[in-house]
C-alpha cells in the first residue's frame, strides 16, 4: 500500500518530535504493509514550510531505515491566501515529489464561497488539487454536497483511513463511507502523526473497503491511485461519481476575491 499523506518528518510540525520517533513510525508503517510514504508536513500559519529543512530530515530518516520504505516529499497545504499566492509563483514547491499533485486542506471554520477560483488557478499552473479528509471538516460534514462542483471541475478527494473505522467519530465515519459509496473518493491515506491516536495504519481500511466494496476498489484507493500520485502519472479511468451533476464552468477572477471580507 502507498500512503500519500503522512507526517513522518521529525521536529517539523505536530508529527514526530525527534528522529527516533520518526524511525519507530516508519517501522510501524512498513509492518502494516505500507511500501511508499509521501512525507507531507503542514504549511499553515502555525508551521512554516521549509523545503530545505524537509529534505534534510528526509535524508536522515532514509539513512536510518534503508530500503524498508520508499520515501518522498509533499505538503499538507493549507488553503490560505498567502499559500495560494506562493504556490502560483512556485508550482512544484508544495506538490508531491515535485510533480503535479497537491494535497489541499480547508480551515475548520470557514471555506471561502469562491474557493473554486483558487482550484482553477492552481490547475492552470499545472497543479492537481487533492482535497484532504473532507469527512473530518465540520463544515463539509454538515454539507458535503457542496463538493460536487469541485469534483466536476477536476479536484480529487482523499479520506483518512481511520475515518473508515471510528477513529474520528461517528459523523466522520458516516460521511467517509457515503463519499466512498458515491465514488467521490480517489485515495485513502493515514494522515499519520504518531503511534497512538494518529497511527500509520492502512491495512484496516483496505480490509474494510474490500469487505464492503470489493478488492478492486480497495486496490484502486490504497495502491493504484496513490502510486500514480507518488510517481507523478495520470490516474487510470475512475468510476463515474454519483450525483455530482453536469459539468460546470468555473468563473475566473482575481485571487483576492476568495478572501474578501
Query: How many CA atoms, within 13 angstroms, populate the side-chain half-sphere of residue 118?
Result: 27
Give the residue-averaged pLDDT of 113-118.
92
CA dihedral of 207, 175, 169, 163, whole degrees rounded to 10:
30
Three cell numbers written together for 23: 524511525
Q: Supply the pLDDT for residue 250.
A: 39
Neighbours of 245 (CB within 10 A): 11
What would the pLDDT profile of 133-150 be if each residue is shown by its tens digit? Answer: 999 999 999 999 999 999
∠ CA(7), CA(13), CA(17), 5° rounding? 85
Residue 103 near residue 76, CB atoms below 8 Å: yes
- Of 43-47, 70-74, 257-261, the one with minimum mean pLDDT is 257-261
pLDDT at 205 over 60: yes
Distances (CA, A) of 191 to 149, 198, 242: 25, 7, 26
Phi, psi of 192 (to 5 degrees): -70, 140
Q: Where are the domains of the chain?
A: 2-233
Overall CATH class of domain 2-233 = alpha beta
Which band of pLDDT confidence, cut at 50, 70 and 90, is reported for residue 88?
A: very high
Average pLDDT, the chain: 93
Q: Supply the pLDDT for residue 254.
A: 38
Residue 158 near residue 3, CB atoms below 8 Å: no
Report the SS3 class of residue 153. Answer: coil
What would the pLDDT profile of 10-41 be if each residue is shown by its tens digit? Answer: 999 999 999 999 999 999 999 999 999 999 99
Q: Supply the pLDDT for residue 108.
A: 80
pLDDT at 260 over 70: no
Which band of pLDDT confidence, cut at 50, 70 and 90, is reported for residue 114?
A: confident
What would the pLDDT profile of 222-256 be if each residue is shown by its tens digit? Answer: 999 999 999 999 999 999 999 988 643 434 343 44
pTM, full prediction: 0.93
Q: Supply the pLDDT for residue 246.
A: 63
Give the residue-averaged pLDDT of 206-235.
98
Amino acid at each position: 500500500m502507498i500512503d500519500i499523506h503522512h507526517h513522518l518528518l521529525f521536529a517539523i510540525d505536530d508529527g514526530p518530535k525527534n528522529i527516533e520517533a520518526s524511525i519507530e513510525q516508519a517501522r510501524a508503517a512498513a509492518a502494516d504493509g505500507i511500501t511508499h510514504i509521501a512525507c507531507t508536513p503542514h504549511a499553515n500559519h502555525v508551521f512554516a514550510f521549509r523545503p530545505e529543512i524537509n529534505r534534510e530530515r528526509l535524508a536522515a530518516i532514509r539513512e536510518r531505515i534503508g530500503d524498508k520504505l520508499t520515501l518522498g516529499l509533499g505538503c499538507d497545504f493549507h488553503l490560505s491566501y498567502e499559500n495560494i499566492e506562493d504556490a502560483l509563483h512556485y508550482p512544484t514547491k508544495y506538490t508531491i515529489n515535485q510533480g503535479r499533485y497537491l494535497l489541499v486542506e480547508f480551515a475548520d471554520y470557514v471555506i471561502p464561497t469562491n474557493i473554486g477560483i483558487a482550484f482553477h488557478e492552481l490547475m492552470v499552473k499545472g497543479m492537481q488539487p487533492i482535497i484532504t479528509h473532507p469527512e473530518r471538516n465540520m463544515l463539509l460534514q454538515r454539507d458535503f454536497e457542496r463538493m460536487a462542483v469541485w469534483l466536476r471541475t477536476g479536484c480529487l478527494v482523499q479520506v483518512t483511513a481511520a475515518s473508515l473505522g471510528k477513529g474520528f467519530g461517528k459523523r466522520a465515519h458516516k460521511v467517509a463511507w457515503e463519499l466512498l459509496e458515491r465514488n467521490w473518493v480517489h485515495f485513502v491515506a493515514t494522515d499519520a502523526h504518531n503511534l497512538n491516536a494518529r497511527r500509520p495504519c492502512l491495512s484496516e481500511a483496505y480490509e474494510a473497503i474490500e469487505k464492503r466494496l470489493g478488492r478492486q476498489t480497495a486496490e484502486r484507493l490504497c495502491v493504484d491511485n496513490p502510486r500514480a500520485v507518488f510517481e507523478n502519472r495520470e490516474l487510470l479511468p475512475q468510476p463515474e461519481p454519483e450525483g455530482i451533476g453536469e459539468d460546470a464552468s468555473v468563473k475566473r477572477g482575481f485571487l483576492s476575491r476568495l478572501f474578501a471580507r
